[in-house]
Amino acid sequence: MTTPATSDGPAPGTALARSQAARRRRVLDAALRLAERGGFDAVQMRDVATEANVALGTVYRYFTSKERLLLEAMVEEIEALAARLEARPPVGVTPAARVVEVLSRGTASLQRHPEVTGAMVRAFGAADEADVVRRVGEIMTGIITGVMHHGPPTPRDLAVARTLQQVWLSALIGWVGGVDEPSRVVADLETATELLLGDGEEPVG
């Protein structure tokens, strides 16, 4: 155990830290580039290493498995997504409208790079990556709670948000697995939001 795998790296700002951060970035970028066309299967660790100008062993020093690599990429992507959503908040007047808006925009963003999202979602089943998986879920949940009210979320808000996040994940799995149409993801989220936060519009049918 030296630096990348565990936490406390070298003093931040040093040359070492910088070159390592750069390496890590190159690896992540290479993975994303490969995922972009070809999805999960196209992200082959040897290719990632080559594209990142790094030895295969180095890839594994930074990311303990292919799945972790993809999941960490997902954390980044979804954090960026959360930031964009925060920068340009939804405009709906009811919580339900805002939630739907934020989920739709998030989903649209993910669906813009289907192969990449597919690769990431496929990594979700991984064993031994609980921490990253948890982080992804938390960010997703945070995206939702963030737009429900002004103040801090109530317990009920948290429950609703968690439920929606679970629907989101399952719907994404259904989509990338080819079980459902892409549009089904947003449709499911609208339905669920309606059921959970019923905004007084017409009922389901």
Partner DNA sequence: GTCGGAATCGGAACATGTTTCACTTTGGCG
Partner DNA sequence: CGCCAAAGTGAAACATGTTCCGATTCCGAC
Q: Does 126 bind its own copies (CB under 8 A)?
A: yes
Chosen residue from 33, 44, 79, 180 binding DNA by CB under 7 A? 44
**Contacts of 43 by beta carbon, 8 Å cutoff, 6+ apart:** 31, 34, 35, 66, 69, 70, 119
133: left (phi over 0), alpha (psi -120 to 50) or beta: alpha
- Considering only residues 165-204, where is the footprint of its own copies by CB under 8 A? 165-167, 169-171, 173-174, 177-179, 188, 191-192, 195-196, 203-204
**Contacts of 76 by beta carbon, 8 Å cutoff, 6+ apart:** 28
- 196: which 2 tokens? 């959970």
Chosen residue from 29, 33, 36, 45 binding DNA by CB under 7 A? 45
- Considering only residues 8-67, where is the footprint of its own copies by CB under 8 A? 39-41
157 contacts 148 by C-beta, under 8 angstroms? yes
- Considering only residues 67-96, where is the footprint of its own copies by CB under 8 A? none
Q: For the chain, where are the alpha helices, taking DSSP H only?
A: 15-36, 39-42, 45-51, 56-62, 66-87, 95-111, 114-122, 130-145, 155-176, 183-197
- Phi/psi for 7 (5° steps) reads -85, -90
Q: Does 17 bind DNA (CB under 7 A)?
A: yes
Chosen residue from 8, 57, 178, 201 binding DNA by CB under 7 A? 57
CB of 98 to its own copies, least distance (A): 18
Half-sphere exposure of 72 (CA within 13 A, CB side): 17
Chosen residue from 28, 32, 35, 43 binding DNA by CB under 7 A? 43
Rounded-to-integer distance, Cα 89 and Cα 165, Å: 18
Rounded-to-integer distance, Cα 26 and Cα 32, Å: 10
Chosen residue from 102, 103, 121, 147 binding its own copies by CB under 8 A? 121
Q: Does 132 bind DNA (CB under 7 A)?
A: no
List residues binding DNA (CB under 7 A). Answer: 2-4, 10-11, 14-17, 19-20, 23, 41, 43-46, 53-58, 60-62, 64-67
Residues that bind its own copies (CB under 8 A): 39-41, 118, 121-130, 133-134, 137, 154-156, 159-160, 162-163, 165-167, 169-171, 173-174, 177-179, 188, 191-192, 195-196, 203-205
